[in-house]
Amino acid sequence: MKYIKFEFRFNKDNFKENFFQKLLIRIVFLLFPKANPDYEDKINNAVYWLLELDENDGFPTREIGLNKDYKSILKMPYKKNYGYWIDSNMTYMDFIERFHAESIESEFFNKKWNELV
List, for residues 57-100, the tens digit of each pLDDT value.
Answer: 999 999 999 999 999 999 999 988 888 899 888 999 999 999 99
The pTM assigned to this predicted structure is: 0.80
Residue 65 and residue 50: Cα distance in Å, rounded?
Answer: 7
If one counts the domains in the chain, the total is 1
- Reference 66, options 96, 109, 23; nearest CA is 109
The pLDDT, as a whole number, for residue 115 is 94
Residue-number span of the structural domain to which 29 is assigned: 2-113
Cα 63 to chain center, whole Å?
Answer: 6
